[in-house]
Amino acid sequence: MPDKKFLKHRHLQKLLSDYYAENGQRLSFMEGLKKIDSSHFHTSLPNNQKQVPQNYLNVEAFLDAIGDTYINVDKVLSDFGYFLHKENFIFPNSKDIYAIKPLNWVDGSQMHRHDYFELIHVYKGFCQLRFEDETLDLNEGDLLILSPFSLHELLIQGEDIIIVTAIRSSTFTVMFGNTFIYQDAISMFLRNSLNHSKEPNYINFSTKNSGEICRIIQNVFFESHSSDPYSNRLMINLINILFITLLRHTPPSHMMIRSRTSEEDLFDGGLLIQYIKKHYNSITLTELSQVFHYSEAYLSGLIYKHMGNSFSSIRRDIRLKKAVAYLTETSLSITDIAMMIGYQSADHFTRIFKKKYGVSPLGYRKSSADKVYGHNDKKETGHPNN
């Protein structure tokens, strides 16, 4: 085999399938490489790869298109036989997300761990996942998200089509930071996986082979094999859409989480404050409970227990801190400031402000100006302490 090896998926898959049909035995990846005709190897990735399909492909067309993608033999061999698979060996340098179709009729699957997230989608057929000390049957349409460092082995039979999508852990927070402000099943699973990175875990969705899910998986697969400079950014958005689609169309009864941490344990006051600060002028407890997937009463109790204050008091203090900034840094009228921070009238805003700080908004603005310009003829004294 020459150095710097690239090999079309279809050529190796055909050899493995034909050998099994003729001999009833599976070849390992290394054995297949030794038997395949050397003319199928390329020393560099060919430039004439197909463009990303614009339309949704049926199963046969999708499988045919997969056959035209290339296996980077060097990358596979550099990670071959190791118990811990590392993202730097698996991912192309420019990608944070990389999708493959594991070869069928290949021998050599083994229990292993990896330091990245893995999405296992049963596109067609069936497979088994050996996970730690249990074996899971994954049926057509199942999509399982596997946390990093989980001990596992994927067992694929026959002509089943399994698409495995790897997502780097090292850049996960940067790529999917907005995901972490929510309290849905996926957000909690991902946050818990990163916070407890050595704890094996998975979340499985039974999608009943949703066409919408299959379309997204197809797009991610082809973009991960594209050299287009925008493919990585597009894949990040596609994975976000995938997560939302899974949540939208999968009822809780069709989700399975291996290790479920209680909602109270996963409550993150910092994320909640971040969300309130972003939407401080309009957010209500009802809206907040819908975003974080709690009942209003339960969320209200969690906020008070973990943060020592009520939602309305926290929102009020955030609004008033913003008002202080407007009063000192702008010449906006009191009415305009009241409306901008979420109060419907200047009188209501003035009462809230004075009750909190002991001085009216106008009095505070004047006292601040006097301090700047050295004036002492203030009619009102007082100054917000925080």
Spatial distance between the Cα atoms of 135 and 153, rounded to a whole number of angstroms:
9
User: Is the full-model pTM beyond 0.85?
Assistant: no
pLDDT at 77: 78
Structure tokens at 125: 């057929």
What's the pLDDT score for residue 372? 59
- Number of other residues whose CB lies within 10 A of the CB of residue 364: 22
Task: Identify the pLDDT of residue 143.
Answer: 97
Mean pLDDT by 10 residues, the chain (386 residues): 77 95 92 92 74 86 95 79 79 90 86 94 96 93 95 90 94 76 81 78 90 96 92 94 93 77 58 85 91 81 82 92 92 96 95 92 86 51 45
The two tokens of residue 341 are 């921070």
CB-CB contact of 335 with 361 (8 Å)? no
pLDDT, position 299 = 86
Q: What is the pLDDT of residue 15?
A: 96
Contact 147, 131 (CB under 8 A): no
**Which pLDDT does position 262 carry in this prediction?**
53
